[in-house]
Every structure is written in C-alpha cells, then in structure tokens.
A and B are shown apart, each in its own frame.
Chain A
Amino acid sequence: MKMRRRGLIALGLVLVVLALVARQWMQHRNQPEPVPVAPDTTAASVRTATLWFASADGDSLVMELRDLPEQGELHARLSALVAALEQGPRGDGSRTLPQGTALLQDYLDETGLLTLDLSLPFRQSFQGGARVEELVVGSLVRTVSANVPEAKRIRIVCGGAAFSSLGGHFPLDRPLDPDDWP
C-alpha cells in the first residue's frame, strides 16, 4: 500500500515536470521571431555619405543619407559616390545619373579643382529637358561637394573629353562652383 502510494506520488511528480517542460516548450514555440534591430555599428568601417537625388515631383533635389564603406583614397571615395548616385535613391525620389554612369578617372589639383571623368553613358544615355539636366548636374556637384570638402570647384568631362553641355541647356565647358548649385 505504502509502495503504491509512493509510486503514485513519483508518477505525479513526473507528470508535473513533463507538464512544465511542455508548457515551456509551447511558450518558446509561440514566441515571435526576433525582430532585427537597427543596423549595428558592427560592420566594417563605414561613413555616412550625403547623397542628392531628384525629388518625386522632379522639381528639386532631396537629400538621402547612406552608409558607404570608408575609403581612404580619393578615387575610391568618388567612385563609391558616383555608384551610389547611379543606383538611385532608397527612399522617395528618383535617380539622376543615367544608368551605366561610372567614374573613370579623377584629378584634384592644388587649387582644389576636381576633374571628374565619367563614362560615356553619362552623355549617351542622358534623356530629359532642362529641368532634368539641371538636376543631374546639381546632384553630382552637391554630392561631391558635400562629401569631398577639398573639392572647391568641379569640372565634368566624359570619356576623357571635355564637352559643352549635357543636353544643350546649361554650359559644362567650365569648372562649376558648388556655391552656385545650392
């Protein structure tokens, strides 16, 4: 009788433990997936770049902040900026640089004149009127000026050659002063 009683108690305890384990397991199972937290600062060295894209109404430029890998060399920094512009905005707005535009060469002289030599699609794939042309040049000048403060003036050439205008509306035959593209 005593043995039977002990057996029942032991069985009861086992059942209670099993019930607790099952409950714990069910609770764990019903938990939502962990919500990804905001991007950690754990990546490699990065820098927040200021990029300018066309606004949704195509009438002005809008700013977007984007983390880009930290680059030591000027050419790598500029290439990353041009590539980011070419990819287009992640938020609202629209891309300014024609698809396929890339930085071929750059040269910064001692007076702060930065020459950007862009690939041919910059000219060949350009489509748009005067407003689009102004936005294309403005987004490039503003973006470079905001992230490369050593560039005091910016000259844009394409495929290694100077050209007078992108779409025939604004002159590009002389260096551009970032202060003139507010």
Chain B
Amino acid sequence: MRRTLAAGLAAALLVAPRPAGAQPASAAAATRSNAAPATATRSAAPSDSSRVPLGLGVPSIPVSRVGGIDVVRANDLAWLLKAARSWNADVRKLVLNSGGHRLTFTDGNPFVIADDHTLLLAHPVFSLGGELQIPVELAQAMPDENAWPRLGYDARAGEMRAAPADGYVGSPRVITRAGDTELVIPTEHPELARVVGRGRARFRLRFRGAFAGVLPDSLPEDGLLRNLRIQTIPGGLSFELAVDPAAGGWRLELAPSHDAVTLTFDRAAGSLEPFAPEPPPGPRPMHTVVLDPGHGGVDTGVQSDGVLEKTLTLDLAKALADELRRRAGAHVLLTRTDDRDLSQLGRAEVANAPKPDLVVSLHFGMSLDPRAKGGAAWCAPASASATVLEAPGAGPAVGAGRTQVAGLLELLPWRDAATAHAVESRALAEDLGRALEHDGFGPMSVRERMPLPLMGVTAPGVLLECGTLSDVAERARILAPNGIHRLATAIADGLLAWQRGE
C-alpha cells in the first residue's frame, strides 16, 4: 500500500535550478474551495487537484480503478481522515467518525450520510475483497463547512489527498532593500511560525502544515540570505537558512495582511533580535580541556558481558588526556579520576571551574537490537530563547555563557548556558564524528539536543557516545589490547581538527 505521509520522513527539498524561462509550478498557498454545498446532489468524479494541492507533507492515499470507477479503499480513507471506523454487518453500513463528524456508507448504495447531509455519489459504494470501495467523487461532495476535512482527488497523480489540518505554507519571496533582506512566506496560520534556530549558519524557521509552493531559482546576490532550503518534519516543515555574516539581527513579524510572516535580516542590529553567538574564524583556543568520564559509582552505565561503561569511560578519559597533553600541550582535567558518583550540578561545577575551552563527556552505548552499531555526538541546540537586556555600563565580555553583543547583555537560564556555544559545539561534534569514522569507528551521527551532562556547562562541548558495546565486532575492537588507545587517538584527531578550525 502506498501512503504518502511526509510526517516522519525527513525529505529535504533543495533549491533546484530550473531551465531558463520555465515558469514556477503551483506557487500560491491553497485557498478553501467555494464549491456549492453538495447536499443531495449527484456528484461525478472530476479531478480537482487544486482543492488540495500537492505539496510536501500532504497526506494522500492511492486511487484504483475497478470496473471503470475510480475508488479508494475504506480503510485508507479512514486513515486519511484520522477516523475511527465501525461496521454493522447486518445492514452493511460503515461509519467513520472523525473530529466530531460522522460519515456513513452503505454497501451497494450511492447515498452517503455526512452528519445531517445526504450526499449522492455518481456510483454506489461497493464491497471488494472484504473491504468497501468508495468512489472518488466523495472528495468534491464533502460538505465545505464546520471544519469538515477538505479532500481532493488528483487523477493525474492517482491519489486522493487531505488538506493538512494546519493548512499550507506557500512560496517564499525574497525582497532586498537597502541594508536588509525580507523573506515573506505565505501561510494559513502565521501565528504558528516559530524560530527554532538562530545561528547565522543554521537559521531555522518552523511552520505547522504542508508546503505547497516552490523555492526561488536563485537568491539575490546583494541580499543577506546565502542559502534557503526546506526540511519536512512531523506535522510541519522548517525553512533552513544560511545568513550572511554581515547580518546584524533578525525580526519575525506578521505581514500586514495577516496571511504571511515576514522574516527580516538587517545589517544593523538596532532593535532586532540577535543571532546566536558564533566562533571567530580561524584556529580556536584549546589551552584547557575538561573530559567527563560518563557515569561512575553506583551509576554503572551500560553493562555488556561484565564490561561496565563507567570503567571504560574512565580508561578512555585517562588515555585521551595523555594524548592531548602530548600532542596539543593542553591542560587537561577530568571531572572524576576514580570510581565515584557525581551529581549533575557537581559535574557542571567541576567542568566550569577551570574556564575550559571545551568539554567532552565520554560515553558508550548499548542496544537490545543486535543490528545497532556506531555512535553519536550530541551538542546543545541553538534554539534556546535568550533574554536580552540593555546594559549600558557593561564591560567587555567575560567568560563563556555571558556574551556581550554591541552593548547588550544576553542572559540565559543556567540550564541552557551551553546553548551560547551551540555553533562551536556543533563544529566540534562534526569534527569528532569525521575523525572517528576516518579511523574505522562509527558510523557516527550528530544530534542537536541538550545532553544532561552538559547542562550548566559554560563552554563548547559534546556528549560523545563512542561506540555500541552490544555489537560484537565493535565491542571486540574497543576491548582489544590497544582498543582504548586507538579510540583516544581518533578522538584527539577530531579535537585537533576542531582547534585548527577545519
């Protein structure tokens, strides 16, 4: 069964160049059809794809042709409408309940009861293979009132679609004016737009609903937008932007017509929102490094055939410390040097005390699924909202987690302190992943989610899960006589690459 459910599928639509002269496809956001009420009117099966436009994140079900009639399966229709279904075999009636509405189908009957409406289809509903088949003209016959689900039949695509509950997001327009760049995005629910990432390199604007538009062929060279793409997420989509380093701030506001949002980037910060702090270009300092061997004491971490994670992480931290002292001349501190339990507050306190240039929390993983292997690196997301206060008398920026931005003081909740270093942390996570894979470990992935061991840490940092102990080959590689040393060397390679700014 083919069901297009973009929710859950991380499909990315990149800016795709079109041939010169080609016209954009459907460019506008969908608008509700003004079709006349369908009560007791016979409906044929015209294709009406404009009623529910094709788009990223629009759920759909397949249409099949049976005896010359285009139909959808009743179970598919129930899924499309998110409806509960009940069948009365005595009278051969199927009832779909969806969002307070009720659709009743009868085998062999062209009449469909929709709450208190009677819809007459051009063909009767019929049973095939133990399942009712519903003629597609139902899509156009559905009542267009009281928040009934909006359905559309697209003969060309061979599918029936349901309009997303949160509506559509249309084609973005990029407008450049002296000094600023505006991104105007039509949407049926502008109030649901939300900035979830505010770094210049990875600025993210999230919407609910589905995307039914096209991206611009190219971006203005004199503007502040360097890249624009779309990522679908469950229930919505996110515009992923790269903003020029010359941009000083951003602002998100409702368009005057209230059917769009406008995201403005300006060269002057003025009263705009600040971007997340970014690292200066070039080499990074790595004078002081804090290594956090995960778990400890009563908290053993994962156990695999008698091997305790807390022991492995301590061994690895000691080997990595030696490696960094030798190769980088770094001052390396461990949050624990023996088998003891540390509270989260205690870990953050120990980690912050030497004002480190970076913090790495070392861990190993295990899975009940024997097919799982590799590792991952977690870094703080650049999405935490900061409170920015005027601080006319503030001195120069002091310490991590407190960043002076053009005379402003940015305040973060204690637990989100690491988000001030999200960009450096992401670069660190990517460098570590590359180095581990290069040295034969992995596969590695990078995730942006605040890990508990980094809460309250005021420096760039990652939680690094170095490998999966439940994978036989990986476990053997780590537990081999030189396994920990090889792993420490690979991690040190990644840290040195980050230091060089590669």
Contacts and interface: CB of A to CB of B under 8 A. Distances in A.
Interface stretch (B246-254, B294-302, B315-323, B481-489): B294-302
Contacts of A65: 3, 79
Nearest to A56: B371
Contact of A47 (B85, B129, B468): B85
A41 B94 contact: yes
Interface residues of A, number: 44
Interface in B405-456: 415, 443, 445, 447, 449-453, 455
A168 B368 contact: no
A151 to B, nearest CB: 13
A182 B302 contact: no
Contacts of B86: 44-46, 70
B233 A132 contact: no
Contacts of B398: none
Interface in A26-61: 37-48, 52, 54, 56-59, 61
A94 interface: yes
A130 B378 contact: yes
B305 to A, nearest CB: 13
Interface in A160-182: 164-165, 168-171, 179-180, 182
Given A38-B131, A45-B85, A182 B78 contact: no
Given A129-B364, A169-B463, A39 B371 contact: no
A117 interface: no
B101 to A, nearest CB: 14
Nearest to B469: A129
A41 B302 CA distance: 45
A41 B365 contact: no
B372 A182 contact: no
A130 B5 contact: no
A63 to B, nearest CB: 4
A48 B443 CA distance: 35
Interface in B79-94: 79, 82-87, 89, 94
Nearest to B132: A41
B84 A47 contact: yes
B376 A41 contact: no
Contact of A63 (B8, B84, B455, B468): B8
B78 A38 contact: no
B233 A182 contact: yes
B49 interface: no
Given A58-B369, A130-B365, A146-B7, 14 more contacts: A40-B87, A41-B85, A44-B86, A48-B79, A56-B371, A57-B371, A128-B366, A129-B366, A130-B376, A131-B372, A165-B452, A168-B453, A169-B363, A169-B451
For the complex of A and B, the 7 pairs showing the least CB-CB separation, nearest first, are: A58-B372, A129-B365, A37-B130, A45-B86, A182-B233, A70-B84, A47-B84
Interface of B: 3, 5, 7-8, 74-75, 78-79, 82-87, 89, 94-95, 97, 129-132, 194, 196, 206, 233-234, 294-295, 299, 301-303, 309, 344, 363-369, 371-376, 378, 415, 443, 445, 447, 449-453, 455, 463, 465, 468
24 contacts: A37-B131, A41-B78, A41-B87, A41-B131, A42-B87, A42-B130, A47-B78, A47-B85, A58-B371, A59-B374, A59-B443, A65-B3, A70-B84, A70-B97, A95-B368, A128-B367, A129-B364, A129-B468, A131-B468, A132-B368, A164-B344, A168-B301, A170-B452, A171-B455
